[in-house]
Amino acid sequence: MAGVEHVISMEQTLSRKVERTEAGETSGGHDQPVIATEASEKLSIAVHEKVCTSPLGQRFKKLRDAGANQAETRPKIQKVVFLLREQTNFQKYYEPRVVSLGPIHHGKSKYQLAENYKLRLAQAFVSDSGKSDEYIYGQIEKNIEQLKEYFDEEVIEKYDNETLAWMLFVDGCAILQFIYFTVKNMFSELKVKNDQLAFAQQDLFLLENQLPYQLLKDLMKLSAKKKELKLGIRTFIDMHSMVPEKADSTTSSDKKTPIHLLDLLRTRLLGNSVDKTPSRKGPASKASKKDWQSFRNVLELNSSRNQIGAQQK
């Protein structure tokens, strides 16, 4: 606060100098008031910058930024919090087994085998789209700042825009083509083992393996098979939901774009209950907990079903 008071007192001193000049107390002409005013502005800025860059000023900035970030309502793609990481056997719900998607697990050696498959899937998507690979990539690169808003800053800070745009281009195209091949039963073309397919499908719904759904929408718009791809996603979600679709689910999904595929599956499983904010007490809260437990059980059951099916083929 002392720094602010100093700014005010200095400005008042220079302001009086201007008034005396205008009253004719000095003989420097009419240009002097302008010079004094400019000096006041420069001094004010200099002292203000000193306050902002001081250790205390930086603490206040961090405090205010925290309040601004709290106002954000859209969840972002981020790492699982450490409290969940400490839970036994919880790793399988957020860390992929076969293929990494997005920035969090990108580049890890244990996922390198799947990188070649992703490139082949991405190339197949480009071939079916009717557009060139350079054009599609260019559209992603053009929108990279918007797409970065869907990620927590921590998970993308080590990537420059070009690297991140290429990653999203390849992974996004690969996901859409993977889903298309799955619902069309066309994976024989890639000669992928059935157990790898089962784990890859599970990897698409893991917490730390998500891509912005907006990216998938942008890519579908660029493809000549837009309608087929959109229908493919709906069929793919139905394959993994194992519950009857609610009558109003289509209307609800049209109103709000999901955050990512996992969010789309969750919305499909829970229906309108995801749009409600129950109180912490009473039957509504118990129902909400029951819905989340059902959601988790469905994922576990579906994963087991995929693995058993793969072993039998």
The per-residue pLDDT string of the chain (313 residues; one tens digit each, 9 = 90 and over) reads 444 444 444 444 444 444 444 444 444 445 444 444 555 555 444 445 555 568 898 888 888 877 666 555 678 999 998 887 877 788 888 999 999 999 999 999 999 989 999 999 999 999 999 999 999 999 999 999 999 999 999 999 999 999 999 999 999 999 999 999 999 988 876 777 777 788 899 999 999 999 999 999 999 999 999 999 999 999 999 998 866 665 544 444 456 889 999 999 998 888 745 444 444 444 444 444 444 444 455 555 455 444 444 444 4
pTM: 0.66
| Inter-residue contact 257 to 283 (CB < 8 Å) | no
Can you read off the two tokens belonging to residue 230? 């959109």
Residue 151, beta-bridge partner list: 77
Q: Is the dihedral of CA 273, 279, 282, 288 positive or negative?
A: positive
| Inter-residue contact 46 to 3 (CB < 8 Å) | no
Residue 219 confidence (pLDDT): 98
**Cβ-based neighbour number of residue 268 at 10 Å:** 22
Residue 161, beta-bridge partner list: none
Residue 65 confidence (pLDDT): 78
Q: Residue 77: what are its φ and ψ, rounded to 5°?
A: -75, 120
Residue 77 DSSP SS3: strand
Residue 273 confidence (pLDDT): 52
Reported as type and span, the H/E element at residue 302 is: helix 283-312
Residue 164 confidence (pLDDT): 98
Residue 78, beta-bridge partner list: none
